[in-house]
Amino acid sequence: MDKIVNTAVRAVLLITAGCLVVWALVPEWRTVILGLLLGLAGSSLNAFLLRKRVERVAHGAAGMGPSKSGLGLGSRIATVLLVAMIAYRLPEKFNMPAALIGCMVVPFILLAAAYFINKRQS
């Protein structure tokens, strides 16, 4: 799991760097890029929350921790709602559709990273 998350973090940092370059070079896209960056930040936080929950469930299944642990869906939904609220309150800074798209990027990156890492190992 650590290898997959580290690969996803590298990909997110690469996307963030690309977004910052576009933000600097294309002034009319600044609200869209800032919305995308806000969504990427929320999505990255969700990935770390999911990683923590998966580790807790794994420890519980191995008998090393509490046997009952939730999946943390509420905290991940709250993160997306926070991103949406920020984009809604500051429409002159953040584009709402771009922020919501950014919230869905990291799960697909995690899926692609897991596929390629597992394919490379087998």
Length of the chain: 122
pLDDT in tens, 19-62: 999 999 999 999 999 999 999 999 999 988 888 888 887 877 77
Tokens of 18: 């690309």
Residue 119 CB coordination number (10 Å): 8
Angle at 36 between CA 34 and CA 41, to 5 degrees: 95
pLDDT in tens, 62-112: 777 666 666 678 888 999 999 999 999 999 999 999 999 999 999 999 999
CB crowding 26-59: b at 16 or more within 10 Å, else e: eeeeebbbbbbbbbbbbbbbbbebbbebeebbee
Q: Which amino acid is at 58?
A: A
